Each structure stands twice: as structure tokens, then as C-alpha cells.
Structure 1
Amino acid sequence: MSVFRQFPRTFWVANAIELFERWAWYGFFMLFANYLTGSSDAGGLEFSQEQKGWLMGVGTGILYFLPVLTGAIADRYGYKKVLFVSFVIYISAFLLLPQFTTFTGVFLMFLYLALGAALFKPIVSATVAKTTTDATASIGFGIFYMMVNIGAFFGPLVTLLFKGTSSLIFYVSAGIVALNFILLLFYKEPGRVEKEKNTESLLETFACIFRNMGSILKDVKFIVFLLIVAGFWTMYNQLFFTLPVFISQWVDTSVLYDFFQAHIPFISRNYSPAPGVMDPEFVTNIDALYIILLQVVVSSVVMKMKPLRSMMSGFLVCAVGMSLTLAFQNVLFTMVAILIFSLGEMAGSPKITEYIGRIAPADKKALYMGYSFIPVFLGNVLAGIISGSVYQQMSDKVMIVRKYAVEKGFQVPDGLSNNAYFDEVARQSGMSPQGLTDFLWDTYHPSRIWLVLLAIGVGAALSLYIYDRVTSRLRS
């Protein structure tokens, strides 16, 4: 317990702010893929998987690119002021987003939301880096990551209670963000020295930012590291982009439903869209629960490991776990695979931030933390392609059932929702909806996409191993 007393109050306030921000973000984002592609009779927008992939991939990618600028802006104008602006944008975006239903409208509003998140992103991680030492960094970032996942766990659990009215999902997230205005009163910027009034224009500030970018780009070793880590984030982001859709389309969750119906009926009543079916986001959300329960333990195990070694192991385990989540129809196998994935995530992901925090100059922590989001930017864009066009071609149930209907020459009326279309094809096939799902699974093999994710994850781990060997020789 002595290590916890070494953290100053600002460390704990920053982590509490992070918890509520992540609560609000994941409260809508875990549900976002199925909101975009879900059947209109279930409150979805019926975008194609490719549209979903571009919207989530590019939109979220931009969110993680902008901290390259916003991190430096936070250093220049102060963390507290930028946090205030971020919360204002967050709340207004959450209130406006459900008012749009066209692809263009949703995309533009999601970009506006991304701006608020991008202003927020580098500040808390920089605060954690500034309020920890080499001795406390592993535990400090482990606590930070655990707070992220407490928010990530409770966010979807709360918003799923309001899934019957899609707009309420966004309104609940807006309310959670508003709580951070209270915490902001207790936030004190770490290591900030008051200077004489600065008359530098915003244009001059941006010029300074781009000069700093030039100095960063000269660090070839650092850039190579960021590119390698992008492979990990490409595979990791399928937890949000692909897995909820895959579970909704293919996985039989009746065993889990029956268990809760018999032992905890509150869960089966509130986290089930229909009898015998669990909300896919409820299943996916178990990743955050695993991290809440195990993060400090895993961080304690890997705290003495070199960050790069811990990342290598984590990336490899993550790749195996994520691949297995898309390989089976049985929800129990899915839950075990998510556990494997989460163990790798806990070992590898916090070490990325820790590694960059250690090598960043003391007066440019937020700037370097901003660059830590570059691989997340690339990973989101690439993940959008995989969860979009690749998933649509290999695994999308909507596309597969339409292909099957054409092959069989079925006459299906126009204008049906996705769910109604599927039920009509099942009727004409003489099968139940679950029977048709099983038939399509066995015939068209949508699980093959697991091979794509395994190749990406193993490639990232192998590349990091080579990077470690090369940089070790350069140091010696």
C-alpha cells in the first residue's frame, strides 16, 4: 500500500476525470457499430458494414490524430482550460448526434465529437506521466488503465438500459461528461510554472507545433515504434468495430441467457433484446470486467519486465484471443477468448503509454503523449477497412443472406428491414431463423476473418521483437 501514498492528489483527480470520460465514451461507442448497421425496426440506421467501417475508422482515426496538435495546445494554453473546452464540445456533440440519420450527417457530427475527445486525450495521460516516477510508473499507468476500464465497463451497462430509445444512449453520455465540471474544480496542473503574459498568436503557436513535429519525425527509431504499434491497434479495435456485430449476427447466446434467467433475472430482463438472446455489447463488455478484476495483478507481474518485452508478449496473446472470438458460434468460447485477449491487453497496452512517457522530455510530455496516439490513428483507419469492406465481403450476415437468396432465386419484397428480410428468407427456406443462421455459418464460413486478425497481431509482435533486438544492439 505504500506505493499508493506516493501519488499526489492531482494523480487521483485526473484518474477520476478519465473514469467519467471513458464511461461516457464507451457508453455510446460500444453500442455504436450495431446502432449504425442494425435493423431499422430495432432502432438501427441500416448503414452497410463498409459505411460503418469508414465512419468509425476514419472518424475515430482523426480523433487519435488530432492529439498531435491538441497535446501541444494543452502545453501552450494550460491543461485545465483545454479540459473545459473539451467537455463543452463533448456534451453538445452527444446532444446533437442522434438528431442525424444520414451517413453524411452522422459522419460530420461524429467528427465534431472526435474534436472534443482529441482535446481531452493527451492531457490525463500527460498528467499521469508527470505525477509518477520511474519507480511508480508501472503501477501508476496500471491504475490509469484500470480506471479507463471501470468507465468502459459501467458505461455500456448503463446505456444498454436505455437502448429502447436510441437518443437516450447519447443523452446519458452527455450527463456523465457533465460530472467532470465538478472534478475540474479540484484539478491542479502538475509542474506548471506561471509565466509572463504571452502575446504569441495562435498562428505562431501552430507554427511552433509544426516545428516540433519536424523534430519528432527526425527520430526514426520512435517513428518505427509507432508504426509497429499501429498493427496492434488495428487488431485491438475489432473489439468495438467487429465483435459486437459478429456476436449479434452469428453467436448463439442462449446458454448465457438461460443462466441469467435462472440465477440473475435482472440481467436477462434488461440486457436481452429478445427471449433467449443477450445483448452483444453485454458480452463484449466482459473484457472491461476482466481488466477491472485483474489489471493491478497483471501490472504487478509485468512491472519489472522491460516495456518492449511486455508489449511483445501482450500483442501475441491479444492476437490469439481476438482471433478466437471470431472463430466460434458458442458464446462460452467467446467469453474465454475475450479473457485471453484481455490478459494480453493488460500486459501490453499500458506499457505503450509508459514507454513513451519515459522517453519524452519533461517539458514536452503532452506533445509526446499526443504522438502516442499516431499508431491508434493508423490502427483505427485500418481497423475500419477490415471491419468494413473486408468483413462485408467475408462475414457480413446481411450480405451473405442476400447472396443466398439470389442463388436460390427467392422472391423477397423490397423495402423490408434487415431483420424482416432475414425472416422472410428463412420462411422461404423452410428453416427457423436460428436454423438458417447455422446453415449459412456452415456453408459460407464467415469465421474465416479470424485468420486476418491473427496475421496482423502476430506480425506486430514479430516486428516489435526485431525492433527490440536492433535497438538493443544500437544502445550497446
Structure 2
Amino acid sequence: MAFSQRLHEIRTGFSSNFWIANTLELFERMAFYGAKAVLVVFLADRVGLHEEAGTLAGIFSGLIFSLPIVAGVLVDRYGFKKTLMACFFIFCIGYFLIGLAGMQFGEPIVSVIGKKAYALSVLILTAIGGSLIKPCIVGTVAKTTKPEAKGLGFSVYYTMANIGGAVGPIVALQVREDWGIEYVLIMSSLTSFMLFLGAWFFYREPVDHNNEVVEKRTLGKVFADMLLVFANFRFMIFLVIFSGIWIMFWQIFYLIPFYAPKVLNFTAFEWFETVDAACIIFLTVPMAALVKEWKPITAMTLGFIFASFAWILIGAVPTVWATVAGIALYALGEATQAPRFYEYVSNLAPKGQTGTYMGFAFLPVAIGSFSAGAVSDWLRLNYLDTNPALMWYIVAGIGFTSTTLMILYNLYLAPKPQES
């Protein structure tokens, strides 16, 4: 009965624009995670920025996950279609310019500007374009999904994003081996151009099925909301603590690409980068059902413990299959905490400010990325050649420290039930 009801919701609950938007999301995530899969190696080995490759990659991802707070203003002002097309256009130019740094005919341009200045500027440009995608796609899902199918609609969106995240590194591997690492960025650029055409010809400005009246945001309103959130000391402490799980996550993209060929003698490092997204697709729903009766803070703490032990396994057993198992264990931790995190954030929000607080739910991902890039450079330069196991134990230590801080936060700082 439940399965037939789900099929009925899929047939009747979504408009054609919903499926177009989610298809665009799938291929955009494929292009993003394909580029992300090789970015640190490309910057270090192909461009020559060996000492700061992780830091630059961290800035790129950090901006992509922090700027959507402001990017939503552009959606309100210019509409979904124009903003989405602008995203893909900037992505197209940005990925190409990143790839240009590794090509022979791009060397004169890079040498005039300087390798680090050139890489930083084109990464920031690309991140600005990337920040526009989430408000557009998430907003389209919300507007084009009937109320009774909204939960299923966001599940479809989340699944599409993870399929793209799982496929992207595999495609990147084939392109890197057949053409060269710089052509992975060119592939992402061409994919973005095709997405630009797809949005132009097939995507339509969404019509709100729910007839909701939503306040138009301005930059002034956004910054006022930011001050409102930053003034909530307990909430900001929680977000900073929670960023620990994302500092660990980004090491899959910042440290594994160097660790796999050097220590494991496994050059196809992109396979490791697809494990987390593939596991998340299958683990999120059963883990959400398993811990649905638990307190959110309990589920999140358990998720942190799983994620932290993952790196102990990778450090203690330096083999390909142990590394796969470790990343899968991290994914189990991510799947355990992720659904309850958003529930907890919504519960922390003062009355009437839920929307404002939920807008900052991606902030730990951004904080984690900014921090993880610099951490990965330090670990790689100091321990990869001399003591790679210790490198992973330090990553695990970050996780266990965050777990301890989460427990202390719950004991002494978290709002009590009567305050929530």
C-alpha cells in the first residue's frame, strides 16, 4: 500500500519543471564533484601550487557553501531561470579558466598574473557561480511540489545530488586517464555549457503549487538576518562544533588523492571519492528510520563517533579495502546525523525565525571546508612522507574532540526543553 502510494505521489505530486530542475542538479553535481575529485592534485602537481593546494580548494568549496545565504537575493530579484542560467554560464567560464592554468597555451597568462593569484581569482569566480545553484534548485523543488508530496520531493532532490556526486569522480577518472587531468576541468566546463542550454530551452520559471506568500529578501534584510544569527552565541557555538564532521569529510577530497597513490600504490584515487555519496544514497533512509525516536543530539553524537573511528581504521590498516571500509563507516556516521541536524537547527530557532536559522544550516559545511583545506596542507606536508598513519589519527582526533565538545555543549549550553 505504501509503495503504491509513493508511486501515485511520483506521478501526480510533481510538475515537469520539478524533474527538469532535478536533472539539471544531477549533472551539475556530476560536473562539480568531477572537478572537485582532481582539484587538489591538479593545483599541486599540474599548476605547481604544492604547498597551498588544499587551502585553495578549501576556499573554493567554502565559498560555494557560504555564499548561497546572499545568493538567494538574486533569485528573488531576477527570478529562478535567469539566476540558474547565470550560474551555469559562470561555471562554464570558471571551470575552463581553472583548467587553463594546467595547459601549455595558458602558461603565458598565468605567469603574468602569478600562479597563486591566478588560481585564487578563478576559483573565487567559479565559486560565485556555484553559489547560485542551491537557492534555485531547492526553491524550485519547494515551489513545484504539492504539499502532500513535499517530503518525497526533497528526497528525490537529495538522491539526485548524491547520484551526481557518486558518478562525477568516476567520469573524472576516465577523462584523467584518457586525456589528462586538466581536461577534467574542461569536461566540467562543457557540461556546464550544456546545462546552460538545457536551462534556457527547457526550464520554466516555477509556479508555486502551495500559494505561499514569501517575503522578498534584500541585501539589507540578509545582513540583518546574519547579525541576528551571529548574535545567538549558543547557536554559533553549535555550528562551529558541528563543522568538525565536515573538516573530516573534506579530507576525502583533500588528502586521499595524495595518500592513495603514495601509500597504497593505488593511482585511481577517484574511486575512493565516490564511496561516500554512493553509501549515503542507500544508508540515509534506513538510518533515519532507525534513530527517529532518539533525541537529535544523541543521533548526531553517534554519527560523530562513527565518523571519527573511520579514520582510525584507515590509519591502522593501510590497504585499499580498509580505506573503502573507512569511508563507508564515515558515510554511516553522516547518514546517522544528517537528518537530525536539520531538525535540531529548526528547534534551536527562536519563534518566528525558523527560516532565517535554516538558511545558515550550510554554514558548518563552509566552515569545515575553509578549515579542512589548511589542515590538509599541514598534514600532507608534515606526515604523508614520514608517518601517514599519524596523519589519519590526527583527523580522527578532530572528530573525537568535536564529539566531546558536542556532549559538553548538550550538558551546559544547549537550550532546555522549556527554552526551545
TM over 0.5: yes
CA contact (8 A) 2:256 2:272 kept: no
Residues 366 and 28 of structure 1: CA distance in aligned 2, closer, same or farther (over 3 Å) = farther
Residues 66 and 363 of structure 1: CA distance in aligned 2, closer, same or farther (over 3 Å): farther
Distance 1:127 1:475, change over 3 A: farther
The Cα shift of 1:251 comes to 1.1
Q: 1:240: Cα distance to partner?
A: 0.8
Supply the distance in 2 between the matched residues of 1:179 and 1:137 (Cα, whole angstroms): 29
Measured after TM superposition, the shift of residue 12 of structure 1 is 4.5
- Deviation at 1:154? 1.0
Q: Who is 1:176 aligned against?
A: 191
- Residue 150 (structure 1) aligns with: 163
1:462 maps to a residue whose letter is T
Larger radius of gyration: 1
Q: Which residue of 1 aligns with 2:226?
A: 213
| CA distance 1:193–1:349, change in 2 (3 Å) | closer
After superposition, give the CA deviation of every residue in 1:194-246 in whole Å (9 maximum; x if it has no partner). Answer: 999x9xxxxx9323322222222233343232212212211111111111211
SS of the aligned residue for 1:165 comes to coil
Q: Relative to structure 1, is the Cα distance of residues 192 and 132 closer, same or farther in structure 2, using a 3 angstrom cutoff?
A: closer
Contact 2:72/2:132 (<8 A) preserved? yes
Q: How has the CA–CA distance of structure 1 residues 214 and 445 changed in structure 2, closer, same or farther, with 3 Å as cutoff?
A: closer
- 1:76 Cα deviation (Å)? 4.4
**Match in the other structure for 2:319:** 330
Which whole-Å CA distance do the structure 1 matches of 2:357 and 2:77 have between them? 14
Q: Which residue of 2 aligns with 1:425?
A: none
Call closer, same or farther: CA 1:153–1:109 in 2, change over 3 Å. Answer: same
Report the TM-score, using the length of structure 2 for normalisation. Answer: 0.81
Task: Give me the whole-angstrom Cα distance separating, in 1, the residues matched to 2:49 and 2:289.
Answer: 43
Matched to 2:318, the amino acid is Q
Where in structure 1 are there 5+ consecutive unaligned residues? 39-43, 199-203, 254-277, 398-443
Would you say the 8 A contact 1:90–1:117 is kept in 2?
Answer: yes
The 5 A counterparts of 1:7-86 are 7-9=13-15, 12-38=19-45, 44-48=46-50, 50-86=51-87
- Cα contact 2:303–2:337 (8 A) shared by 1: yes
| Cα gap change, 1:309 to 1:142, in 2 (>3 Å) | farther
TM score, norm. by length of structure 1: 0.72
Q: Which runs of 5+ in 2 are unaligned?
A: 103-114
Distance 1:189 1:34 in 2: 43
Map residues 311-460 of structure 1 onto 2, 5 A cutoff: 311-353=300-342, 355-356=344-345, 368-395=357-384, 397=385, 444-460=386-402
Distance 1:113 1:177 in 2: 11
Matches of 1:315 and 1:136 in 2, distance apart? 31
Question: Does structure 2 retain, via aligned residues, the 8 Å contact 1:14–1:187?
Answer: no
Amino acid at match of 2:14: P
2:132 counterpart SS class: helix
User: What secondary structure is seen at the aligned counterpart in 2 of 1:316?
Assistant: helix
Contact 1:72 1:366 in 2 (8 A): no
Give the distance between the partners of 1:96 and 1:45, measured in 2 at CA: 12
**Superposition pairs for residues 234-253 of structure 1, below 5 Å?**
234-253=247-266
Change (3 A) 1:117 1:284: same
The structure-2 alpha-carbon separation of the partners of 1:225 and 1:18, relative to structure 1 and needing over 3 Å to count, comes to: farther
Q: Are the aligned partners of 1:129 and 1:365 in contact in 2 as well (CA < 8 Å)?
A: no
Partner amino acid, structure 1, of 2:180: T
Q: Which moved more, 1:302-311 or 1:81-90?
A: 302-311
Deviation at 1:352, TM superposition (A): 3.2
Q: Structure 1's 209 and 30: CA in aligned 2 closer, same or farther, altered over 3 A?
A: same
Q: 1:315/1:381 Cα in 2 relative to 1: closer, same or farther (>3 Å)?
A: same
Structure 1 residues 330 and 52: CA distance shift in structure 2, 3 A: same
8 A contact 1:139–1:303 mirrored in 2: no
In structure 2, relative to structure 1, the CA distance for the partners of 1:176 and 1:363 (3 Å cut) is farther
CA–CA separation in structure 1 for the residues paired with 2:148 and 2:341: 17
Is the CA contact 1:95–1:174 (under 8 Å) kept in the aligned structure 2? Answer: yes
1:130 shift after superposition: 6.6
Q: Which moved more, 1:155-164 or 1:75-84?
A: 75-84
CA-to-aligned-CA distance 1:34-85 (integer Å, 9 cap, x gap):
22223xxxxx33422x311221122322222222211343344433332221
**Letter paired with 1:17:** L
Alignment match, 2:274:
285
For residues 91 and 343 of structure 2, the distance between their equivalents in structure 1, rounded to whole angstroms, comes to 27
CA RMSD of superposed structures (Å): 3.4
Q: Is the 8 A contact 2:81 2:204 kept in 1?
A: no
